[in-house]
Amino acid sequence: MDPTDTAAETDVRRRIPRTDAVMSDPRLLRAAGRLGAARVKSAVRQAQQRAREGAVAPDAVADTAVSLLPRSAGGLRPVINATGVLLHTNLGRAPLSAAARRAVQEAAGPTDVELDLRTGLRARRGRSALAALRAAAGAAEAAHVVNNGAAALVLAATALAAGRDIVVSRGEMVEIGDGFRLPDLLVSTGARLREVGTTNRTTAADYAEAVGPGTAFLLKVHPSNFRITGFTAAPDVGELASLGVPVVVDIGSGLLAPHPLLPEEPDARTQLTAGAALVTASGDKLLGGPQCGLLLGREELVGALSRHPLARALRVDKLTLAALEATLTGPGTPTGEALDAAPEGLTRRAERLAALLDAEGVDVRAVPSEATVGGGGAPGVTLPSAALSLPERYAEALRTGTDPVVGRLESGRCLLDLRAVPPADDERLADAVRSVGRR
Ligand SMILES: *Cc1c(COP(=O)(O)O)cnc(C)c1O
């Protein structure tokens, strides 16, 4: 070993500033207020380690620590959804509207979620959100909100069918993703499943035959992530409602009223009008709100659910209630806008961005694309869209950039589909593409 090297190394080590000294840098002090001292200290230690290894100069330790700080105290990073899948499960499904984000911010501190400020007495939790939900669903006598769609079903099965039968078609025994199967979920509550019909065809007579004294309800589940076509049959809710037991409909997507672009997608209002006793749905699919489970329907059923002990374990927090109400009463949601965006407008945006980036030397062109609603609903429906087409290597570079963009790979190109990207984010998207070009 060269003795002079060792001496130089020792000298470098001696010049590495101590943790306390680095922590007194004003930028790091401010960061400690924002992110917590432990996070900042850990960035400082990493920076010191890099200096020991000779990767950065000893007097650059503070700068390095600043560059290593996380952006926020939470670990979740905001991303641009350029996948063309409007409700992407891995990206947190529906993005909240500006109104819902503001409502969450306002509800974050102490708030009157369970207090009537006029009387000073305890009030029903989330009463205004529930009133907004009932009003938005038109025909609903009562409403209740739980953590997610699966919880809504579990609560319905537990409160209404424990130890009794739920009659369900073999064509509607759905796996909702990541290995979660609705039949398993329902059986876990102590309810018994009575499967009727076949995978492709189930008639009202099949249900009628299964109904008996042990029947708690008939369950209809919308196959929201697959489609069975061809020789199929399924009775509508009206027919089932005439069989004398409550009909519970899991519509999945949370559409409260029919949507012209999604004629096959069931909505709460239509199902309730047709005779459903209870409708369950997710809040963060086509409704475009926060993650939650909606229960809408007859007073006596919803009342029984909301008073069941399990309801306490599934209740939502004030942030969810605030976001849900703002979603229901506020201006359009990003999901609604993405769904309704005119294809010509998307093409114009793609062409403008492509021209801009092409002029800066990026290998990019505007191409037609096909977007989908996603696991949240409308299986088989494609929505005409437009995308930026970039070399394949962009996919990873954009995903791992400072403002991450998630696109999709198609025929050896990285496509950035604009349908789920709000127009206000076009410049952000262009900047992300530029930053890859420079790397
Ligand atoms: C998505 C979905 C569920 C589950 O809802 P979560 O909010 O994800 O818990 C249940 N049933 C159907 C039909 C669905 O589409």
The CA-based angle 162-163-166, given to 5 degrees, is 70
Can you give the pLDDT at residue 223? 85
Same domain, 342 and 311: no
Same domain, 131 and 252: yes
Q: Whose CA is nearest to atom 11 of ligand 1?
A: 252
User: What is the average pLDDT score of the chain?
Assistant: 94
Answer yes or no: is the C-beta of 252 below 6 A from any ligand 1 atom. yes
Same domain, 341 and 324: no
pLDDT surpassing 60 at residue 3 = no
User: Within a domain: residue 359?
Assistant: yes
Of 370, 430, 431, 399, nearest to 90 by C-alpha is 399
180 Cα: distance to centroid of ligand 1 (angstroms): 10
Domains identified in the chain, total number? 3
Residue 431 sits in a domain whose CATH number is 3.90.1150.180
pLDDT surpassing 90 at residue 57 = yes
Same domain, 243 and 301: yes
pLDDT surpassing 80 at residue 438 = no
pLDDT tens figures, 141-174? 999 999 999 999 999 999 999 999 999 999 998 8
Answer yes or no: is the C-beta of 150 below 6 A from any ligand 1 atom. yes
- Tokens 């696109």, located at residue: 407
Q: How does residue 376 score in pLDDT terms, banded at 50, 70 and 90?
A: low
Same domain, 35 and 130: no
Same domain, 342 and 253: no
Q: How does residue 436 score in pLDDT terms, banded at 50, 70 and 90?
A: very high
Q: How does residue 7 score in pLDDT terms, banded at 50, 70 and 90?
A: confident
Residues 289/292/297/302 CA torsion (nearest 10 deg)? -150
Which positions ≥6 away from 77 have C-beta within 8 Å? 71, 404
pLDDT surpassing 50 at residue 1 = no
- Tokens 């000779």, located at residue: 54
pLDDT tens figures, 302-323? 999 999 999 999 999 999 999 9
Query: Average pLDDT, stretch 125-135?
Result: 96
Closest ligand 1 atom, CA of 291?
7
Of 399, 425, 376, nearest to 77 by C-alpha is 399
Share of the chain above pLDDT 90, in %: 86
Same domain, 327 and 344: no
pLDDT tens figures, 180-214? 889 999 999 999 999 999 988 999 999 999 999 99
- Tokens standing for residue 186: 């329902």
Same domain, 303 and 370: no
Same domain, 55 and 130: no
Same domain, 353 and 325: no
User: Within a domain: residue 105?
Assistant: yes
Can you give the pLDDT at residue 5? 63
Domain end (from 297, 331, 365)? 331
Closest ligand 1 atom, CA of 283?
7
Can you give the pLDDT at residue 380? 83
Domain end (from 331, 346, 362)? 331
Same domain, 355 and 428: yes
Q: Whose CA is nearest to atom 1 of ligand 1?
A: 252
pLDDT surpassing 60 at residue 381 = yes
Domain span including residue 197? 97-331
Residue 324 sits in a domain whose CATH number is 3.40.640.10
Closest ligand 1 atom, CA of 251?
13
Residues 273/326/145/154 CA torsion (nearest 10 deg)? 90
Instruction: State the DSSP code for 115.
Output: B
User: Within a domain: residue 63?
Assistant: yes
pLDDT surpassing 90 at residue 375 = no
User: Within a domain: residue 75?
Assistant: no
Of 357, 359, 374, 370, nearest to 429 by C-alpha is 357
pLDDT surpassing 90 at residue 2 = no
Same domain, 58 and 109: no
